[in-house]
Amino acid sequence: MDKLVIRGGNPLLGTVRISGAKNAALPCMAAALLTDEPVILENIPQVRDIETTRKLLAAMGAEVELGYGRAQHRTTISARLLAAPEASYDLVKTMRASTLVLGPLVARCGRARVSLPGGCAIGARPIDLHIKGLELLGAIITQEHGYVEATTDPQKGNRLHGAEIVFDKITVTGTEDLLMAATLAVGETVMTNCAREPEVGDLAMLLNAMGAHIEGAGTSTIRVQGVEKLHGARHRIIPDRIEAGTFIIAAALTGGDVNVTCCDPTHLTAVIQKLHETGVKTVIKSDCVRVMGDQALKAADMNTEEYPGFPTDMQAQYMALATQAEGTSMISENIFENRFMHAQELVRMGANIKVEGRRATVRGGTPLSSAAVLASDLRASASLVLAALVADGETIIDRVYHLDRGYENIEEKLKSLGAEIRRVGNIFPKRAAAPSRA
Ligand code: EPZ
């Protein structure tokens, strides 16, 4: 099992290039199931979740080419023949976003069998809203043996039909799953209380390029006019706003001066505004944020909210910064019920954090010392990397496979900025550029 070894104390200096957004690439790869023509996606990040999605689509019978480096981080997916519209438990348990294939499969094939994802480290994370929306679109749903089975209704021509859908809660992949299903439904679908994350907008851009008729993506009300068929398309995935936010905090925390390039600052307004509150200085250009961490950090309270609020996926990283800011920061996690696992690991490094339910009180200005720590989920591991960058001594972070799920080459990127970081153990197997079928 891989470990990262980080010696803290170096300010990060230089330029880092942000990769494509994992959470946009995953739904866009699932969208390729909606057509029998090739879909080409560019700016795909080389992370474990993309590899898992490749296996998932290939297991259904899709042809998935995935290449990095010379191939410009590109995948070509041809879902001509889908012999097995299924997502098995052994894949879904490693990546709950596999449930994104549910809507496309039932819309395209008239049936789908997808493992229920089960809980994960950060919360129960049910998919009841995905299921409720599909039933409103006319799918017949049964749940048994840990699987969801969805079929279209032969009484209704084996097609989904348009509906009015109001989400009881704002759900990102729920919005994406049903958006994809609605593109092939008969008639109009109006979805309200939708997620407004940029990744939803990116998916809608791909779907419209494939011939869908979607209006309002990125707002809380989305209208879809269903069509008979979708065709292939080429699409470039948006930059990863969470990776960009993570590097912005890394620069601020280490007192560095870093150009975070190939990002979209308009996706980071809440994060940048909060960091300004803590005293971080930035210069913002169209695709770059220059971060100057030469000011002492001041405490600032933070609440996670759905987009455009402060993203829950940046909460753990912000907590690492709060441990070094002068004063006390109150952090409220309003999206997930158990997303403070990183707090205890930060306390082992010397942080002063008290967790009560969904609120954490961080008394800042506490020097951190190196320790052997354990990553528990994707963003918690990012938080431990940030803390290790300013801790005294050499920190060892175990189970960094969590990190590899969503950060491309993080140690190379940090090393290029002057961090003392190395990976020990089996190197994450890099896939050959040649196309392959599972
Ligand atoms: C997406 O997860 C992201 N994953 C998560 O990023 C992110 O943390 C989350 O949105 C919130 O922004 C991907 O996009 C692949 P939700 P998702 O449905 O869609 C409840 C990362 O670190 N809910 O928006 O699964 C749910 O329990 C990952 O990259 C229901 O109750 O999250 C939660 O409390 C982690 N029923 C809230 O809604 C449902 O049917 C928001 O969850 C669906 C969700």
- Residue-wise pLDDT tens digits, 236-265: 999 999 999 999 999 999 999 999 999 999
Q: Say if ligand 1 is within 6 A of residue 129 CB.
A: yes
Distance 423 CA to ligand 1 centre (A): 30
**Is the Cβ atom of 107 under 6 angstroms away from ligand 1?**
no
Q: Relative to the CA of 199, which ligand 1 atom is closest? A: 14
Domains by residue range for the chain, with CATH: 3-18+239-424 (3.65.10.10), 22-236 (3.65.10.10)
What is the rounded distance in angstroms from the CA atom of residue 175 to the CA atom of residue 163? 14
> Which single residue is written with the structure tokens 């993080």?
410
Task: From the CA of 169, give the closest atom in ligand 1.
Answer: 38
Burial (0-12, 13-18, 19+ Cβ within 10 Å), 420: middle
Residues 296-321 pLDDT 10s: 999 999 999 999 999 999 999 999 99
- The CA 369 to ligand 1 mean position distance, Å, reads 33
Least confident of 62-71, 274-283, 426-435: 426-435
CA atoms within 13 A on the CB side of 17: 6
CA-based nearest residue to 313, from 383, 254, 248: 383
412: Cβ–Cβ under 8 A, 6 or more apart, which residues? none
- By most ligand atoms within 8 Å of CB, the mutation choice from 114, 171, 303, 307 for ligand 1 is 171
CA-closest residue to ligand 1 atom 43:
127
**For ligand 1, is residue 196 a contact (CB within 6 Å)?**
no
pLDDT level of residue 204 (50, 70, 90 thresholds) = very high
C-alpha distance across the termini of the chain, in Å: 24
Ligand 1 atom with the shortest distance to the CA of 307: 12
Report whether residue 403 contacts ligand 1, using a CB cutoff of 6 Å.
Answer: no
Q: Kindly report the average pLDDT of the chain as a whole number.
A: 94
Stretch among 99-108, 115-124, 342-351 having the lowest mean pLDDT: 115-124
Q: What is the 3-state secondary structure (H, E, C) of 1-65?
A: CCEEEEECCCCCEEEEECCECHHHHHHHHHHHHHCCCCEEEECCCCCHHHHHHHHHHHHHCCEEE
Least confident range from 301-305, 416-420, 424-428: namely 424-428
pLDDT at 71 over 70: no
Q: Which residues are catalytic?
A: 120
Look-up: residue for tokens 């979209």?
264
Instruction: Calculate how far, in angstroms, residue 306's C-alpha sits from the geometric centre of ligand 1.
Output: 10
In this prediction, residue 72 carries a pLDDT of 74
Other beta carbons within 10 Å of 39: 26
Contact (Cβ atoms closer than 8 angstroms) between residue 138 and residue 151: no
Q: Is the CB of 28 under 6 A from ligand 1?
A: no
171 CA to middle of ligand 1, Å? 6
Tell me the β-bridge partners of 74. 67
Give the pairing type, strands 394-398 and 3-7: antiparallel
Q: How far is the CA of 126 from the centre of ligand 1 (A)?
A: 9
**Contact call for residues 335 and 311 (beta carbons, < 8 A):** no
Whole-angstrom Cα distance, residue 172 to residue 117?
A: 16
Which atom of ligand 1 is found nearest the CA of 406? 29
User: How far does residue 7's CA lie from ligand 1's centre (Å)?
Assistant: 33
